[in-house]
Structure formats: C-alpha cells, structure tokens
Amino acid sequence: MSEKSRIKVENLYKIFGPNPQKAFPLIEKGLERSDILAKTGNVVAVRGVSFDIKEKETFVIMGLSGSGKSTLIRCLNRLIKATRGAIYIDGKDILKMDKEELRQVRRYTMSMVFQHFGLLPHRNIVDNVEYGLELGGMNKKERLEKALSAIELVGLKGYENSFPHELSGGMQQRVGLARALANDPEVLLMDEAFSALDPLIRAQMQDELLELQAKMHKTIVFITHDLDEALKLGDRILILGPDGTARQLGTPEEILSNPADDYVARFVEKVDKTKVITVASLMRKAPVITIPREGPGAASRAMENNKTSSIYVVDSDRHLKGLVRIDDTVKLYRKKERDLEPVLVKDFYSAYEDTPIADLLGVALTAKYPIAVIDKDFRYKGLVDRATIINEVQEDAENLESPMHFTQMEESISSKTRETASHEEAEASGE
C-alpha cells in the first residue's frame, strides 16, 4: 500500500429534498436528522464526512441501513451529486467537472459493482462484460479480447455465451466484477457487492476478491453493512453512524481494540476478536541469542535476566535457528563447550505476524514453549507467550454465555422450576 492518496473527500454533505440549502443552518445548530426533516422536509443523508483513500488500499465504508453509505459511494462517481464539499479524484474535484470530463472518469478511472449486479438481461456474458468498453467507443476486436481476459480472471471461462438469468447469483456478480475490471480502472467501487449472495458463496467471493486484489492492486472502495465483511476485506474501515456522520476511521485492529465511541463499541462487541486480532498485537520483543557470536554463558545469563527457562537462537542474519533450554546451556557451560548448535531444540511452534490468534489457540494449549513469530524469510520478529493468547481468548469468551458445569445447571433449573411451581401455587390459593 503506498501512501499516495487516490481519492480525497472533504467535508461532504448530501441532502435530499426540496431545498437542501435550508438544512445547513440547522445542521450547524446540531439538530438531528429527524428534526431537520420535520422542519425543512430535507433528509440529511451524508453529514460532513471527510476521508482519504490511499492508492491500492481496500477501503471499506461500513454502516447500517440509513447511514448514507450507498449515497456516499454514489457521490464518489457522481451518480448522486453531493450538496456541499469536495471529492478529489487524483487531485481533481469531481463536483466541478463538466459532462465530458465526468464521462472520462467514469469510463477509464472508476468502475462500479452493484448489489443486484445491474447486468443487461438481453446481452450474453461477454457482451455484458464488454459494455463499459463499448460505451467508451473501443473497437469490437480489442474489447472482446479484454472482456475474455476479464472473464477468465473471475473464473467464468466457458460461460461467455450464457445469459445472466442462466447463472446463479454468485456467478452473476462475477460478471459484474468482470465488467468493472474489463475497463482496467484504477478505482473499483463496490456497493454491497456481496450482500445479495448466500453466506457460503459470499465468503467464497470475499476470499476471491482478496486473492484478486493481491494480484491487481486496485484501489477498492467497498460498501457493506456487515462488520465481519468489513474486517475481513478492509485495509482501513470508515464507520458511519446512523445520522450519516463518520464515527471512526482506522485499521480493523484499531477499530476493534480502540473503538472511538459507544456506537462503534456496540458494533464491535459482538465480533469474535480472535479472528481479527493478529499475532503482531500480542507479540513481545524478547531478547535472543545470536550464534555463533554468543555461547552457553550468554544464553544462561539472558534467561536468568528475563526469568525464562528457554530462549530463541538466531544466526547473524536474524534467521531463526531454534531455541535452547536453561538446563542444556548450564550443562554446556559446565563442560566449557562453546557451541550451542548440538542442543538446539526445534520442537516449537512458529507463526507469522498476521496470523489471527484464533488459529493459535489449539497450539497455545499444548505447546511447551512460547510461540516464535517470524517473517516470510524466517527472520525472528518476537514471541508470543502461551498465557497471553489464552488470556486474550478468555477475555473474549466472557462476553459470550460461558459454559456451566452440568451439576450447577441442573441445580439452577430445578430451583427455577421449584420457584415457578410455588409461585403458581400461591396464585392458585389467592384466587
């Protein structure tokens, strides 16, 4: 992800209604959406939202229905014209563009994928995928070529001549995606693109989008009402409140671990954090022993200082070699041997920084040593204590209904029935 900004939205308002300008003084006074509607007949859909979308990031805008998220994404390509504010696409304000400039942006810079696909029912798949290119006036041969490669990219090879109604929802949305990709746009706008699909297909499409994005590196703006989807796909997430304001902008971890306000906190509390919080956030930078520079003496001292019984060993390039235990190093030290290599233990678990901690839970319960964290080149980054993982998962579990010992449950049930029985008796006698 580069730091260059691709889309910059500044203080954006969209007000629907007979006289949008009338709503602004009331907005400044801080009136709520329903009051403004009652007083002026205008609906404030998007209320002073500002954000920056970086090049090649997946930016998720999340909110419940009525939060203005669909309006907001339509403002980005001016399907809906914002009432106030500015939207800079590569530095140019889309609200100030004339019709021709706007068409150019829509044809070559931004493509959109729709919730209900928006395919043309009278055209077969390849003609649907060609549609955007056709509008731009590309010749038949060239656009056919591009359409076929886009169809292959989304895994619909062999369906070129089918019609949309012959395909399942998931496949239709692949066509929608292929149509958007055929234009080779820099920005992909996805409006609840997977919301109309059933859960299994939906998860599959999410995975495929992640895979595609790893290859294509587009700037993706993804709208969803589903926090799990947002957390799964988003490099950064913008959470919109029910009043059309932006509540929090941050990475999935930032939002989960540090919700900006009560609204976001309430959203976040139901999420299984262990699937989102990664090893990186629990990792600590424990000291290591570098061989061949350091020997048993240094290792023993280091463990003593850190009050641990084992320590990881790396080579001079910080590649992880194994770990040594305190009893082995003490033995070596007494024998006055220098080389740690023979006593290196390889019987430990390692993980990458971006591994979700849910994946480590099973390992944490059985592992004998702390879990080593490495990068893709086997370089040592730090370690995670088993206790930390179990602790983190435990914290999350407390929010859910904890399991109860069976005898306790029996007791509580029988006491409840006794209570209700006596209650009923009392009522009966009262009559």
Residues engaged in binding another protein (CB under 8 A): 74, 77, 79, 102-107, 110-112, 114-123, 131-132, 134-136, 163, 179, 183, 189
CA atoms within 13 A on the CB side of 288: 27
Closest CB to another protein among residues 96, 103: 103
Of the two residues 30 and 121, which places its CB atom closer to another protein in the complex?
121
Q: Which DSSP symbol is given to 242?
A: T
Q: Which is nearer to another protein, 120 or 421 (CB)?
A: 120
Q: Residue with structure tokens 């390509």?
A: 77
Q: Which two tokens stand for residue 36?
A: 């403004």
Q: Which amino acid is at 175?
A: V
Please list the residues that pair with 382 across neighbouring strands. 373
Q: Smallest Cα–Cα separation from 353: which of 218, 248, 253?
A: 253
Q: Least distance (Å) from another protein to the CB of residue 186?
A: 14
Q: Which is nearer to another protein, 181 or 291 (CB)?
A: 181
The CB-based long-range contact list for 388-397 (8 Å cut-off, 24+ gap) reads 388/282, 388/284, 389/282, 389/357, 389/360, 389/361, 389/364, 390/361, 390/364, 390/365, 392/273, 392/274, 392/277, 392/282, 392/357, 393/274, 393/357, 393/358, 393/361, 396/272, 396/273, 396/274
Least CB distance from residue 227 to another protein, whole Å? 24
Q: How far is the CB of 414 from another protein (least distance, A)?
A: 57
- C-beta of residue 8 within 8 angstroms of C-beta of residue 88: yes
Name the H helices within 7-137: 23-28, 33-40, 69-76, 99-108, 125-135
8 A C-beta contact, residue 319 and residue 379: yes
- In which residue are the tokens 């509540």 written? 247
Question: Measured from the CB atom, is 117 or 267 closer to another protein?
Answer: 117
CB of 223 to another protein, least distance (A): 13
**Shortest CB 283 distance to another protein, Å:** 43
Sequence letter at residue 182? A
Least Å distance, CB 90 to another protein, is 16
Q: Which segments of 136-251 does DSSP mark as H helices, in order? A: 140-153, 169-182, 199-216, 227-233
For another protein, the closer CB: 18 or 342: 18
Of residues 48 and 118, the one with the C-beta less far from another protein:
118
CB of 43 to another protein, least distance (A): 18
- For the CB of residue 352, give the shortest distance to another protein in the complex, in Å: 38
Residue 366 CB burial class (10 angstroms; 0-12, 13-18, ≥19) = exposed
Comparing CB distances to another protein, the nearer of 127 and 254 is 127
CB closer to another protein out of 220 and 393: 220
Q: In the complex, what is the shortest distance from the CB of residue 195 to another protein, in angstroms, rounded to a whole number?
A: 13
